[in-house]
Amino acid sequence: GDSVTQTEGQVTVSESKSLIINCTYSATSIGYPNLFWYVRYPGEGLQLLLKVITAGQKGSSRGFEATYNKEATSFHLQKASVQESDSAVYYCALSPPTNSAGNKLTFGIGTRVLVRP
């Protein structure tokens, strides 16, 4: 089945420094999957941060960006300068390219980011 592997555990970074969270995927469906980054702030549900459904494209939102690299099967999340408000848990996810049954999302384990002032 499909799988997503991302940076494990907690990443601690100082405010204004750069952040990268690694994500690689393996998809069994024919064609290229849709790729997502979701974020969960304390006490909140997951919310979509960005998505890319076309291989080779880059998505961006709130200063974050991720590039869909089909050769490396990667979708790393980066931000050049983080803020305390970026402290959250980040999930990489994929779904099949076609509107298959349920269009199920497969998630990575989540990476907790702690931004220190």
Chain contacts with other proteins (rule: CB under 8 A) = 1, 4, 34, 36, 38, 43-48, 51, 53, 91, 93, 95, 99, 101-110
- The tokens for 74 are 């990667």
**Minimum CB distance to other proteins, residue 22 (Å):** 15
Nearest CB to other proteins, comparing residues 16 and 57: 57
**Minimum CB distance to other proteins, residue 94 (Å):** 11
Nearest CB to other proteins, comparing residues 59 and 79: 59
**Minimum CB distance to other proteins, residue 34 (Å):** 5
- The tokens for 68 are 């869909």
Q: What angle do CA 99, 53, 51 make, to 5 degrees?
A: 110
- d(CA 94, CA 117) in angstroms, rounded, equals 32
Nearest CB to other proteins, comparing residues 101 and 117: 101
